[in-house]
Amino acid sequence: MATRTVVHKEIIVKGRVQGVGFRANAKRVADSMHIQGQVKNLLDGSVWILAEGTAEEMEDFIAWCRSGPAMAAVKELEITDGDVQHIKGFTILYS
């Protein structure tokens, strides 16, 4: 039986990623991929994502983050590994 080891990633998405529906689409995609976490806009114009899921799910989610929704222009991702926090659901945070 295969184990479903959960991984934890903090992702900073840079580029034209605010005002283009990035957070709402990230939630929709995360929910469909069984990714747990949070997303919010940062003051510097980037988007912060805290995400947990299996390595395979995370790979697919990060691939989506590299392009984002249609109106986004993602220039860079900063991805940091972290300790699993067993987050439930995927939440949009408003700053």
The enclosing domain of 34 has a CATH number of 3.30.70.100
Q: Give pLDDT, residue 55.
A: 94
**Counting every residue, how long is the chain?**
95
Query: What strand order describes the sheet that includes 36-41?
Result: 73-82, 6-16, 47-54, 36-41, 90-92
Decide the pairing of beta strands 6-16 and 73-82.
antiparallel
Residue 34 lies in a domain: yes
25 catalytic, yes or no?
A: no
Residue 1 lies in a domain: no
Which residues of the chain have a pLDDT value below 70? 1-3
Quick one: what percent of the chain has pLDDT higher than 70? 96
Q: Give pLDDT, residue 3.
A: 57
23 catalytic, yes or no?
A: yes
The count of domains in the chain is 1
Range of the domain at 44: 6-92
- Pick the catalytic residue: 23, 25, 28, 66? 23
- Pick the catalytic residue: 4, 16, 28, 41? 41
Q: Give pLDDT, residue 4.
A: 78
Residue 29 lies in a domain: yes
Residue 49 lies in a domain: yes
